[in-house]
Amino acid sequence: MRFHLSAISSLMAALAGGIATAQTIQTARFSCDVENCEIKTILTARLMGIDETVKFEINWLSGKVAPANFRNLEEKKKYIASSHLIEKTTVSRTILASAEADCILIHVIADQPGEVAFQARFQSDTPTQILDRRELVIPGGKVHAHAWIIPFESDVTDDGKGAISVTGEGEALILLNISKNTKEQLIANTWDRLGKRYDPYGTPPNPHVVWEAVKKAQDINKNYKSK
């Protein structure tokens, strides 16, 4: 992967600064520690009453230009907002713990077309399954973990090793959910459930409609506005 000289300088600065101190958000069932910096976001999810954790990583170095000028914009009880620059384009990230949706949602949007790029994966010794090209699943153990990678217009690619990449997008949505690994508590229908609730006539559900509806239900519109 090649970067411009200025991008390499930004990358070295980000590496020198390391990952920011973890911020925490939570749903009724699980908490999520969020470590954020220019090049990575790492979410460590833990079910209430269970010590085992699930780590989910978003790598922002998937594009042709390294991200720079990372800013933590806002931390509220239910969501964390931050941003980075791709040259002159601002990419905004919002991580929302939704009681209404019963999951974690990560919304990514650029103020210029085609500048959203990232790679998502679980950090796990257990092999990650890729389902329907856009879903990452870790079965087994005490915790079942499931993530959905949903670009609004483009498609995804996977590396065959448990990672899914998005490039050339303007906006994307990621869902993360975990549960006890029992048949009655599997969360594999999370995206379908949200689609039926918030965009019942969409085939498939429109991720923008779902995101806006979840924001409204969570009452964060007063503090956050999509660009």
Q: How confident is the model at residue 220 (pLDDT cuts 50, 70, 90)?
A: low
In a domain, 45, yes or no: yes
Over 70: is that where the pLDDT of 29 sits?
yes
Number of H helices, E strands in the chain: 3, 15
pLDDT tens digits for range 186-200: 688 999 999 999 999
Q: How confident is the model at residue 128 (pLDDT cuts 50, 70, 90)?
A: very high
In a domain, 225, yes or no: no
CATH number at residue 36: 2.70.98.50
Query: Which residue type, as a one-letter code, is found at position 37?
Result: C
Over 80: is that where the pLDDT of 4 sits?
no
In a domain, 77, yes or no: yes
At 139 the pLDDT is 84
Mean pLDDT of 142-154: 93
Residue 12 to residue 14: CA distance in whole angstroms: 5
Q: Which domain does 179 fall in, by range?
A: 5-218
Residue 128 DSSP label: P
Mean per-residue pLDDT of the chain? 85
In a domain, 197, yes or no: yes
Over 80: is that where the pLDDT of 73 sits?
no
Whole-number percent of the chain with pLDDT over 70: 82
In a domain, 121, yes or no: yes
Mean pLDDT of 17-36: 81
Q: What is the pTM of this model?
A: 0.86
Higher per-residue pLDDT: 50 or 21 = 50
In a domain, 226, yes or no: no
Lowest-confidence pick of 16-30, 33-47, 65-79, 110-124? 16-30
Domain count along the chain? 1
In a domain, 81, yes or no: yes
In a domain, 199, yes or no: yes
